Structure 1
């Protein structure tokens, strides 16, 4: 029992370090791939998350940040011709973000670039599914 108490904190620290290292590798991978397309990492993340029309608040929730931060990102992507704001069909106070055809094409290129040499590429599909399941369980509180 004493050995378990001593090794559990050590194992937790090691696991947290591994998760932190993986997150750093994923961030670096995103940063380099985004740069090849002239995007910031935040713009790239927004493009990846825009899988369907959504409001700024919905996008902010998906990106785990404040809507005011997403406004700047959306403004930049809109200025570059990658997304448009349209009236929300059910809420006249809200706007929906929609990718333009150019934005959809860029998103496709980005997703393809991110899949190449990904830090998760060494894992088989089943292993990635298992990791996804375990991380989801760890994040649910």
Structure 2
């Protein structure tokens, strides 16, 4: 039995509302935790995503924003001595972003703060894996 289009549209609207609500809760959580460290949400997101050396373009992709926006955030983090730009080892045209020792320490503090009362912490690890898989499937364009 197929679902009538009207009911399907209602179900999709409700699901989109839930996903949007979760995204808003996560964004608020990041903003609150970032503020305790004297960071903006964008700076916290950049630090969270800096799991190792990467180019500006790679960081922009991880942050889901334009490289020009990432440049602004990285400039601020560089002024705070949290990130350095180094020559890329294989691409003379690119710079590689690297966390300083202070950046690594602040990132660790940030990750610890983000783990406390996270909007996803109510889900068991298996439930988080299932949710991740479903969201990845939904996000991939056919």
For Structure 1 versus Structure 2, the TM-score category normalised by the shorter chain is over 0.9
Partner of 1:126: 126
Count of residue pairs the alignment pairs up: 141
1:83-94 correspondence to structure 2 within 5 Å: 83-94=83-94
Partner of 1:32: 32
Query: Could you give the per-residue CA deviations for residues 52-99 of structure 1, whole angstroms, max 9, x where no partner exists?
Result: 101111111111211111111111101101011110011111110000
Partner Cα separation in structure 1 for residue 2 and residue 112 of structure 2:
49
With normalisation by structure 2, the TM-score equals 0.95
Partner of 1:44: 44
Unmatched runs of 5 consecutive residues or more in structure 2: none
Partner of 1:58: 58
With normalisation by structure 1, the TM-score equals 0.96
Unmatched runs of 5 consecutive residues or more in structure 1: none
Closer, same or farther: CA 11–38 of 1 in aligned 2, 3 Å = same
Partner of 1:21: 21
Q: Secondary structure of 1:8's partner? A: helix
Partner of 2:78: 78
Query: Could you give the per-residue CA deviations for residues 85-123 of structure 1, whole angstroms, max 9, x where no partner exists?
Result: 110011111110000011001000101100100011111
Partner Cα separation in structure 2 for residue 55 and residue 131 of structure 1:
29
Greater than 2 Å deviation, 4+ residue runs: 1-6
Closer, same or farther: CA 58–7 of 1 in aligned 2, 3 Å = same
Partner Cα separation in structure 1 for residue 34 and residue 2 of structure 2:
48
Deviation larger for 64-73 or 121-130: 64-73
Deviation larger for 52-61 or 27-36: 52-61
